[in-house]
Structure 1
């Protein structure tokens, strides 16, 4: 009897199109789910008959309580090589092998600039007005050249965002708790002396930090109050780094010019969530990693992981 593999959150129904699953077709039946399970019991029921699960990024948590309800589960594959919502100890105790895949930083860099430019030039508002026979030109675009781009984090993604900002003729400043002047100089950015200095001086502030105990809630009401009323905030990193309620309040009260968000505390975003109707907000449904090249890597390497597991030599093991 063939093993059964579940592919979660295949919203676009492309998991079996963007990779070649034929090498495992004789041994594994692949079933993709195009809807999200936001209830653990419902998810456990749906996955009860599967030996292998492929999950996207950190959208679905696999705590001990879920893993214990999946006695058939033997292989769990997550896209990316870092996942904070899998209970690895519980997986090991139940004999579940956990593997990851490569993930490119290019798509989130590109989406960061899509959001920033969309905000600065009122792209969505102007496009909607044009298509609805509305006013011809209703916004005055914000400039990038000569303005200051502030970066919270200057790692793999932040440094690439910085270089693009420099190409636009922006002044680029960065800060994080461990950032050094030498690292900032490598990228061509200035090192802000403090987080507060970075916030107060930025015309555009973009978040590129990993979520940890140190960064959770890093931008709360007091920090957001330091931003200029003409400033824009972009977060394509992790929602919990920015206090969502405080940010929504700042948008409603017009204390900042706008925000671009690709990440939210709850995903998919529930119907009726205040972020769906907040003013001055350009929001996308966590598209940072969603690109044809990335998906081809995720699912292609998922197939490789399954092949290796079946051969008795798992690869790309996590954590």
Structure 2
């Protein structure tokens, strides 16, 4: 019998994280990191892999907007489905940024309060994870002047007093939401029609992900023409934008439309219900579409 000796090699992996509003372009590594031998994983806000959040142990990652003012109200969306992957990103303090399928933490210094706001369509599993995570305490401890704020619970439709002068609105979902949306990029880049499913970096087979995709994923241009099909379970969206007319684009439009109709028909058979197929252009999107995403500029 031959025993082969195996040497365990330990290597450091460096995550180079950039915020969503950081300057574009490739940023240089710190001088103490060897550019040639270091294993560097460059990631950007909103698209981090699951393993990144496991590095923080019990300390939740919170990202504040630039020019942070602790005396102003703040709105944080809770991202992730598993306890160790929960994190919070600040979004502009506007009522339209709430989501029926989401959980938010709202800091209101004027009343010395922090609210954990839950939408009416979050899953029972996420609700339990959020309760155990004590996210209100997490946010309170991040800012010295907030440490004595009272933590309260708030449900969808109870928030009007927090947004008194805000006439904007979010989409109040009525349907049952026990599903994760799916997104497909429809294109002919390789010379034949293809429908490529877009992956969610935090996807877990046992969890429902309410907001797996970002607005930035919907990248369509004359250099990369295509369509996106968004399966929101009770509705299907076919997404495009205005591109330069061409024979290739006309062929792609026909193929994408046929794929969307066939996909919708199969979905209807599977669920035994009628499902609308909706067409939308990125320069003119309705609120029920934008609210399928965690945030929309």
Q: Report the TM-score when normalising by structure 1.
A: 0.23
Structure with the higher fraction of residues in helix conformation: 1
Q: Report the TM-score when normalising by structure 2.
A: 0.24
Structure with the higher fraction of residues in strand conformation: 2
Taking CA–CA contacts closer than 8 Å with sequence separation of 6 or more, which of the two structures ends up with the larger relative contact order?
A: 1
